[in-house]
Amino acid sequence: MHTRFLLALATLLLVSSCAQLHTDTLASDSLSGRNNNTAGSTATQNYLIALMSNSGAVGLDSGATGAAAFKQGFTLGTNILGLIPGTDLAHEYVMIGAHYDHLGSCASAAPGDFICNGATDNATGVAAVLDVALHLSVPDNRPRRSVILAFWDREEDGLLGSRYYTANPLVPLAATVAYINFDIQGANLLPSLRDFSIAVGAESGGQQMRDLVEQATATEPLAVVQFSEIFGQGRSDHAILIDAGVPSVFFTDSTGPCYHTTGDDISVVDFDKLYQQIRIAAALTDRLANDDVVPAFDGAPALATFADAQSLSMLIQEALPDIGRFTPGQQATISAHAATMAAIVDAGEGAFDNGDVNTMLLVALEVVSLLSTGECDGFLEG
Ligand SMILES: [Zn+2]
């Protein structure tokens, strides 16, 4: 009976999403925020290695064996790196990654709550990578190119894990054809923006990469709005891979009032959104790992484009039903920004110039800053 139950459970785990289980585990108080160089970090590393091994991954470090092959140590940190071997294009690599570290201390969102669980930053991103690995472990989904599963440490200390990796890569960066980064997933900025998510920097792989992102999102109700790399503000590990010449895209729900507070715990995770993001990630990984022609690195990404202006204007308009959540002063700022962005879009692409670029970057900065005010709330209903 017991054995049969375990077999049934194993089968269920093999074919269904485990994102909620992973997020629950990684964001639990017992892991104390997964801060680097702590017992919680070590327990997280062991969890990741066990899960990757179950998905048929091996350690990326071919010079080591067993659990050690998954670990890349550096100053006060440890990257955890797995490899799902490809078939006929095994010496080309698609990398998917998320930072697994969070914080030892952060702003307290409630009296007596001192643990920074980092549920959406970035237990959900880690869960997404683990779920894509599970997807690739199904024999029919075996990738042609090898897929690297990258769990970065010390992202919160200045992207130190990904910096260390690109300075000390375990497979040639020139053979690493693309990187997909997840940082802050399953999160809502406002009730009006529940059906929106963001993809940053795909133009680093040219129009082909942008098209692949768009095609991967097409089957989900979630609207994934693309922005140029500049809007990611170099704030996550994708920026380091782009600096290293790897076409990259950064999936994020941006930073809201729960960001780096103890309120970023399991109660604010939008799992319906996360499941859509995982299906999108799996679809994009499949294309990058199996298509005959992959995106070529397209140099330093553009500063900002007219398409960015259209996207930013649209998102501000979509958020206006929630303007009553802000103070009167903030409302005046938001209304002014909405009008400014609408004017830039109405003037048309021919009139778009560097002045508009500077204006919209300032608008974007202020909007992100405004969105981080107010009370931490997952906006899961209502
Ligand atoms: Zn993060």
Lowest-pLDDT range, 171-185, 244-258, 298-312?
A: 298-312
Tokens of 221: 């109700």
> For the chain, what is the mean pLDDT?
93
Given a contact cutoff of 8 angstroms between Cβ atoms, the answer to whether 132 and 183 are in contact is no
pLDDT of residue 196: 98
Give the Å distance between the CA of 63 and the centre of ligand 1.
30
Task: Please give the average per-residue pLDDT across 219-226, as a whole number.
Answer: 97
Give the Å distance between the CA of 7 and the centre of ligand 1.
36
Lowest-pLDDT range, 111-120, 289-298, 309-318?
A: 111-120
Give the Å distance between the CA of 184 and the centre of ligand 1.
6
Give the Å distance between the CA of 80 and the centre of ligand 1.
16
Give the Å distance between the CA of 103 and the centre of ligand 1.
10
Give the Å distance between the CA of 118 and the centre of ligand 1.
8
Given a contact cutoff of 8 angstroms between Cβ atoms, the answer to whether 241 and 301 are in contact is no
Task: Please give the average per-residue pLDDT across 225-238, as a whole number.
Answer: 94
For 57-91, what is each residue's pLDDT tens digit?
999 999 999 999 999 999 999 999 999 999 999 99
Give the Å distance between the CA of 320 and the centre of ligand 1.
27
Give the Å distance between the CA of 100 and the centre of ligand 1.
8
Nearest CA to 321 among 192, 193, 223, 196? Answer: 192
pLDDT of residue 4: 47
Given a contact cutoff of 8 angstroms between Cβ atoms, the answer to whether 100 and 26 are in contact is yes
Give the Å distance between the CA of 35 and the centre of ligand 1.
12
- CA gap 182, 277 in Å, rounded: 10
pLDDT of residue 382: 62
Task: Please give the average per-residue pLDDT across 320-341, as a whole number.
Answer: 97
In sequence order, the 6+-apart residues with CB closer than 8 A to the CB of 276 are: 220, 221, 222
Give the Å distance between the CA of 336 and the centre of ligand 1.
30
For 8-42, what is each residue's pLDDT tens digit?
454 445 445 799 999 999 999 999 999 999 999 99
In sequence order, the 6+-apart residues with CB closer than 8 A to the CB of 196 are: 222, 223, 224, 225, 315, 318
pLDDT of residue 73: 97
Give the Å distance between the CA of 117 and the centre of ligand 1.
12
pLDDT of residue 16: 53
Task: Please give the average per-residue pLDDT across 354-373, as a whole number.
Answer: 95
**Is the model's pLDDT at 1 over the cut of 70?**
no
For 159-204, what is each residue's pLDDT tens digit?
999 999 999 999 999 999 999 999 999 999 999 999 999 999 999 9
Give the Å distance between the CA of 16 and the centre of ligand 1.
26
Tokens of 241: 């891979």
**Is the model's pLDDT at 6 over the cut of 60?**
no
pLDDT of residue 235: 92
Give the Å distance between the CA of 242 and the centre of ligand 1.
17
Give the Å distance between the CA of 99 and the centre of ligand 1.
7
pTM: 0.94
Across 81-116, b (16+ Cβ under 10 Å) vs e yields: bbbbebeebeebbbbbbbbbbbbbebeebeeeeebb
Give the Å distance between the CA of 373 and the centre of ligand 1.
18
